[in-house]
Each structure stands twice: as structure tokens, then as C-alpha cells.
Amino acid sequence: MIGGRYSLVVALPKGRNFNDGYGALQQAGLRLPAFGAERALLHGQPGEVALLELRNHDVPTYVDLGIADLGIVGKDVLLESGRDVYEPVDLRTGVCRLSLIRLPGENGPLRRIATKYPNFTARVLRQRGIVADVVELAGNVELAAITGLTDAIVDLVSTGATLRANGLVEVEVWARSSTRLIVNRQSLKLKRERLRPLIARLRQQADAQAPGQTGGAVT
Ligand SMILES: Nc1ncnc2c1ncn2[C@@H]1O[C@H](COP(=O)(O)OP(=O)(O)OP(=O)(O)O)[C@@H](O)[C@H]1O
Ligand SMILES: O=P(O)(O)OC[C@H]1O[C@H](OP(=O)(O)OP(=O)(O)O)[C@H](O)[C@@H]1O
């Protein structure tokens, strides 16, 4: 366990959320380690803040199991993970939705659905009493609908450009997503004096950025 060696351990996802997340934490006063293009995945000096570079879907795991004290990740990933983490701030970036998507004119019963979000999809289907196979894919899920691998997909939509480019339509929004700060429940108690002001500042920053906007789940 690395917790004892650093004052705070932060989990950030590689990819489109990294820069926003890093910037928001820094603006809120957290002294994050600087790093370059090296291939190391754990950054920081002992006694200071450590930064872990993770895949998106691994961020809730590291925070729930207490390796990281806090992390930044999309609500879509939280809805899929089922991890029990404290979710105190909606950073209001990375706004998108998790939607049911089909070929235009395809309105037969849902029998097989491809997605990167199999737990979330199975849960919504169960809630609606729909019996359909869920096929887990690793990416480029649109191809499943285009090729006929499945008769629908559940995937992220933001501007809709990807759907238009692939001749697909958004049939129904199943959840709304934006980027969240997540905190390990025990860390919140043990490192309260460190974490409470950080949470408060991140909330202020998010409010200043997009007042009144929320990104809760629809389902
Ligand atoms: N088009 C988009 N517009 C806004 N936010 C998005 C968009 N696509 C994804 N996101 C948000 O950004 C997060 C990261 O997306 P990204 O494409 O970097 O992840 P990925 O490559 O699927 O994940 P992994 O780390 O598993 O490879 C998503 O979980 C979602 O919350
Ligand atoms: O509605 P849009 O604005 O087109 O955004 C939606 C697309 O954005 C994301 O992909 P991304 O661009 O991150 O590529 P990736 O899936 O390869 O990571 C997501 O998986 C959708 O495919």
C-alpha cells in the first residue's frame, strides 16, 4: 500500500478528462506533482501528493479500495462500476449522455445490445422488464449497430457528430453524465481537514463555471 508514503493519493484518468481534472485540482489549491512525457504512471515525491495515471474504468476501483484518497471520473463510469465512493462535486465538464442508439427505422424489439457499459445496460433493461442479450465490446461500439452484430447499442453521445457520421440515431437518453470528484469514504474521515476545503473550492469553481446545471442520472 502506498498511502503511508504520500500525504494524499490522487487517481486521474488518462484521456480527455486528464487535463480538466488536473487543472481543476490545481486551481483548487492542491499541489500536484509536475510530470513530463516519461512513461512512469506514479508521480510525486514521498511526503507530498502522489498522482496515479489510470484507465477511466479503474479510477473508482482505486478510490473505493483505498489506494487513492480521491479521483476524477465521469458519471458514466460510476454508473457502470457499482463502486461505493463518496461523490461530492459535479465538476460540470465532460457533459454527455448514455443513450440507446439504433439504425434509423429500426424499431423492432430489442434482442441484443452492444455496449462498453454492460452492468449499466443490464440494470436498465431489468428495470424496464426487457429481456435482451448484452454484448460487451471494448470500443467503436457504433460498428455493432452498423454491421448488424446487434440491433441496438448503448453508448455516449455529446454533440451527436459520431452518430451522424455513422448514420445512427439516438433513440432514448438513459442517463446523463458529467465529470465528478470522488473520494474514498474512510479518507474523508481520516483526512477531513485536508479534503473538506478542497471539496468546497472545487464546488465553488464548478458553480462559477456553469451555475444551475446538473448532470444526475435519468434512470
Ligand atoms: N464526446 C464526449 N464529450 C464529452 N465527454 C465525453 C465524451 N466522450 C467521453 N466523455 C467523457 O470522458 C470520459 C473519458 O472518455 P475517453 O474517451 O477518454 O475514455 P475511454 O478512452 O473510453 O476510456 P479508457 O480510459 O477506458 O480508455 C468518459 O467516461 C465520459 O465521461
Ligand atoms: O456525440 P459526439 O460529440 O460525437 O461524442 C460521442 C463520442 O465521443 C466518445 O468517443 P471519443 O471521441 O472519446 O473516442 P473514443 O471512443 O475512441 O475514445 C464516445 O465514445 C462517442 O463515440
pLDDT tens string 37-84: 788 899 999 999 999 999 999 999 999 999 999 999 999 999 999 999
Would you state the pLDDT for residue 214?
Answer: 52
Q: Is the CB of 160 under 6 A from ligand 2?
A: yes
Q: Which fold has domain 3-94+178-209?
A: D-Maltodextrin-Binding Protein; domain 2 (3.40.190)
- Name the residue at shortest CA distance from atom 13 of ligand 1: 74
Ligand 1 centroid–CA 15 distance in Å is 7
Confidence of residue 21 (pLDDT cuts 50, 70, 90): very high
Would you state the pLDDT for residue 216?
Answer: 47
The average pLDDT across 186-201 equals 97
Do domains 3-94+178-209 and 96-176 share one topology? The answer is yes
Tell the CATH superfamily of the 96-176 domain.
Periplasmic binding protein-like II (3.40.190.10)
Q: How many residues does the chain have?
A: 219
- Note the ligand closest to the C-alpha atom of 21: 1
Model's pTM, two decimal places?
0.94
Would you state the pLDDT for residue 1?
Answer: 76
Q: Out of 81, 92, 95, 96, give the residue to mutate to test ligand 1, the one with the largest number of ligand atoms within 8 Å of its CB.
A: 96
Ligand 1 centroid–CA 108 distance in Å is 30
**Would you say the ipTM is above 0.90?**
yes
Taking the domains of the chain in order of start, what are their residue ranges?
Answer: 3-94+178-209, 96-176
Residues 6+ apart with CB under 8 A from 144: 114, 135, 137, 150, 153
For the record, the C-alpha cell of 210 comes out as 456553469
Residues 6+ apart with CB under 8 A from 217: 75, 79, 175, 176
Is residue 218 helix, strand or coil?
coil
